[in-house]
Structure 1
Amino acid sequence: MSVMQHWHREPAPARDAVAVSGDPEDVTSARRRPGAVWGRFLLRRTVRTVFSLFVIVSVAFVVVRLSAGDPVRQALGPTAPPSLVETRRAQLGLDLPLWRQYTDYLSGLLHGDLGTSIITGQPVIDVVSSRLPKSLLLAALAVAVALLVAVPFGLATAVLTRDGRRRGLELGFNGATGLATAVPEFLLGAALVITLGIWWPVLPVAGADTAASYVLPVIALAAPSAALIARVARVEGLKVLGRDYMRAARAKRLPTATLHLRHALPNMLTAVLTLAGTTAAGMVAATALVEQVFNWPGLGYALIQAISGRDYNIVGGIALVYAALIIVINLCVDVLLALLDRRTTLLER
């Protein structure tokens, strides 16, 4: 039996579909009707997505509306006459009961209207469309850097520390990655601004005018996630390296690149991709604070400013966009994992 044949016969880490369903005929029937299985799978995800968005929009609406302060008074200034304030409140519908404001807001969302800024009068959709690309690019670069650094680093450390070897390297790896995961992104960003922007001014620390402007924000976003992914990659790599088919491959004295990249890496990617999807969703949310640190002209910076100014519509619209991005990322991860292991859809019958 060749090594590749042995590899293809290695059971997947997921539980056996027969054992889960309890009925072999159900599994056989499901395998004969892949369209029906995928239809139920996507329907469940769609229902969850809609429900999650509804909950997030509702919570954001209530929290912002019940916060202290009058956004109209803040927008018009303390010297504005009360009659002007009341007129502006009526124009914005803020004089209506809370339940009426809520239904009007939901109705506008269903028609694609995110409202207008209380302070500037700018449509929220224009704010989102002008700032979202910068935030998405920042998060995408951070995810790419985290994966490109963490997966090879984790696998290489697993290879070097296999079977209890190089205890010092293992301790150093665990200590360094543990420390990196404990540092919040915004705190790391502030440290980078101080060290590489003030003490040794080698990189720009504000704006997004040049390619160099991306370096520090991407590092601040990517470093904690890269450390976490590297830890998981090492653990999964050790599991894979200890399996029988890997011992057989080593016994055949296959080249190192073939052994680790062709046989070990594909079998450890499922857990790594699951964590990477969750990490990507977290990075999208973390951009808000990182953008504030680096004065980045993205969606997160606009969200922080809107919260400070109690601009209800801006906060609600951006919160909805963030929620949609995170949910879509999680949905894509679920579909990708289901494609890698078709039995994932059967486990949720």
Structure 2
Amino acid sequence: MASITGAAALVGQRSSPPRLLFVLRRMRRFVLSVAALVVLCFAMLQFVPGDPVRAALGAGADENLVVDTRAKLGLDQPVTAQFVTYLGNVASGDFGTSITTRQPVSEILAQRLPSTLGLTAAAFVATLVLAIPIGLLVGIACRHGRRPALGLSFTGIAGFLSVVPEFLLAVGMVFFFAVTLGWFPVAGRSGAESFVLPVAALAAAPAAVLARLVRVETEAAFQEGYVQTARAKRLRSHTIYFKHVLPNSLTSALTVGGLMFGALIAGTVLVENVFSWPGLGRTMVDAIVGKDYPVVQAIVLVYGTGVLLVNLVVDLLLAWVDPRSAVLEQ
């Protein structure tokens, strides 16, 4: 009987489309990851040493105010009751109330999230716009071992930019381009020019990594048979570059670029503080300093969910563009 059941399950699995199984596995992984993230965010407040309300309000705060604030946050309830309440609130979009400002955390997120998303999206676009053409041009110029000096210079510059922390690069840009030269605003969000330095600080490292990948994929494409065949047919150079080389160089580049979007979201925490950008990153650091734990909980949950969602979308797009990636996981 057990063997019959196992055989039926095996037949059902084989009859299911590989893409569908791939999507279901990715969705299950996403849901489990978000659930684990919610538990960790809840546990964050429970493992804070001492009384988080007293720490946020200060040692000299009135005891009645501390007790009232603790009751409003539900921290006077058993841990199990707090967790059930927290799950219900998160599911409904209610992240509680800020201890220091008494403002609903959902309102804080609504005010600051657009600035962070705008900065991240601009940095992502800049990464793709810079990395893909530069990597492609260098790969074309250095194909078959040509121009070794150019290839070495490109590798050195890209390698340097890829390891410089966003925080250090941002500070250097502020000092040179904003303070010394006065070309851009030192801090704040006041117009299109205020995006230049934060976007450059965020996009420099991922653009360098992506450009190196595009260069490698471009040089590898010139070794493939379809490019050799196209050259034998005496096709024009730009036809070979853009019709044969570029599409085959973009598969890996777009996959890595999508994953880098999650890294860009995390990188905004430091960059926003350097440029006093009115986003979630700066808000989270201020909340950590002020021990405003409900705000920290909510922002960590938003950041974590955003990164997981980006990874999910990248996986699904890759399976749609290249079905072999879904088949290989069977």
CA contact (8 A) 1:299 1:318 kept: yes
TM-score, L = length of structure 2:
0.91
Paired with 1:60 and 1:341, the residues of 2 have a C-alpha distance of: 36
Report the alpha carbon displacement of residue 37 of structure 1 after superposing the two structures with TM: 3.8
Q: Which of residues 59, 62, 66 is equivalent to 1:81?
A: 62
Q: Distance in 1 between matches of 2:18 and 2:97?
A: 42
Between 88-97 and 261-270, report the one with greater CA deviation: 88-97
Q: 1:49 aligns with which of 4, 10, 30?
A: 30
Shift of 1:290: 0.7
Report what 1:194 is aligned to: 175
| Residue deviations 1:91-137 (CA, integer Å, cap 9, x gap) | 22223344443332122212332211121121111111111111111
Residue 185 of structure 2 corresponds to residue 210 of structure 1 = no
Deviation at 1:74, TM superposition (A): 4.1
Aligned equivalents of 1:155, 1:345: Cα separation in 2: 28
Q: Gaps spanning 5+ residues in structure 1: where?
A: 1-25
Runs of 4+ residues deviating >4 angstroms: none
TM-score (norm. length: structure 1):
0.86
Tell me the equivalent position of 1:340. 321
Aligned equivalents of 1:343, 1:155: Cα separation in 2: 25
Conservation of the 8 A alpha-carbon contact between 2:44 and 2:297: no
Aligned counterpart, 2:130: 149
Name 1:295's counterpart in structure 2: 276
- Aligned residue pairs, count: 318
Quote how far apart the aligned CAs of 1:260 are.
0.6
Contact residue 19 and residue 319 of structure 2 kept, 8 A = no
| CA root-mean-square deviation | 1.8
Change (3 A) 1:100 1:309: farther
Instruction: Kindly indicate whether the alpha-carbon contact (under 8 Å) linking 2:56 and 2:291 is maintained by their aligned counterparts in 1.
Output: no
Question: Which letter maps to 1:115?
Answer: G
Deviations 1:199-235 (A, max 9, x none): 1111012111211000000000001000000111111
Whether the 8 Å contact between 2:69 and 2:99 is mirrored in structure 1 is no
2:269 and 2:19 mapped to 1: Cα distance?
35
Once the 2 structures are TM-superposed, how far is the Cα of residue 76 of structure 1 from its aligned partner? 3.2
The one-letter code of the counterpart of 1:232 is L
Question: Corresponding residue for 2:75?
Answer: 94
| Pairwise CA distance, 1:253 | 2.6
SS at match of 2:182: coil
For the 8 Å contact 2:287–2:295, the answer to whether it is kept is yes
Name structure 2 gaps, 5 residues minimum: 1-10
**Contact 2:142–2:151 at 8 Å: present in 1 too?**
yes
Q: Percent identity?
A: 44
- Amino acid in the other structure paired with 1:289: L
Q: 3-state DSSP class of the match of 1:150?
A: helix
Q: Are the aligned partners of 1:57 and 1:319 in contact in 2 as well (CA < 8 Å)?
A: no
Give per-residue Cα distances to partners, 1:136-194, cap 9 Å, x unaligned: 11111111111111111111111111111111111111111000000011111111111
Amino acid at match of 2:20: G
SS of the residue aligned with 2:285? helix
Post-superposition shift, 1:310?
1.9
In 2: Cα distance, 1:40 partner to 1:244 partner: 33
Aligned residue identity for 1:184: P
1:1-349 to 2 correspondence within 5 Å?
A: 36-68=17-49, 70-349=51-330
Q: Which amino acid aligns with 1:222?
A: A
